[in-house]
Amino acid sequence: MNQRQFLLSLSVTTAIVVAIQLIFQQFIHIFQAHAGMTWWSLAFFIPLSIGMFLAGKRAAVSSNKGLFTGLTMALTFIKMLVAVICMVIYRKVFSAQGKDFLLPFFIVYFAFTIFETYFMIKLAKEKA
């Protein structure tokens, strides 16, 4: 996967997530009340995906055979850890009660996880 393909895929993924979130915000109260979580999530996942792509691209062409796998595992752990930290910060800053604010976050999380899995698989195939 080259950089142009990646950026196009990232743009499409982002546009789909934004469209889904905006539609849900029109009809579902939880999404209206926690629209900020959607934008926080996008602000987190877009740069993370770019960083993952750049690091994965480098690791895929490395002579170290275990680097790509190790990088993928480390990035997955870091992503989950930072995601939990972001949820805690959002809850404290916006005094979010209950767990409703997590629904907008997890839509973005799952969409970007699918996207990241897709491009990391493409990068892994380049290595082979």
> Left (φ > 0), alpha (ψ -120 to 50) or beta: where does 48 sit?
alpha
Q: Which pLDDT score, from 0 to 100, does residue 5 have?
A: 95
| For range 5-9, the mean pLDDT | 96
- Residues making up the chain, counted from first to last: 128
- Token pair recorded at residue 9: 């895929």
Q: Is the pLDDT of residue 77 over 90?
A: yes
DSSP letter string over 35-85? HHHHHHHHHHHHHHHHHHHHHHHHHHT-S-TTHHHHHHHHHHHHHHHHHHH
- With a cut of 80, say whether residue 128 has pLDDT above it: no
Whole-prediction pTM: 0.88
**Would you list the domain boundaries of the chain?**
3-127
Residue bearing the bigger pLDDT, 96 or 122: 122
* Residues 53-79, mean pLDDT to the nearest whole number: 90
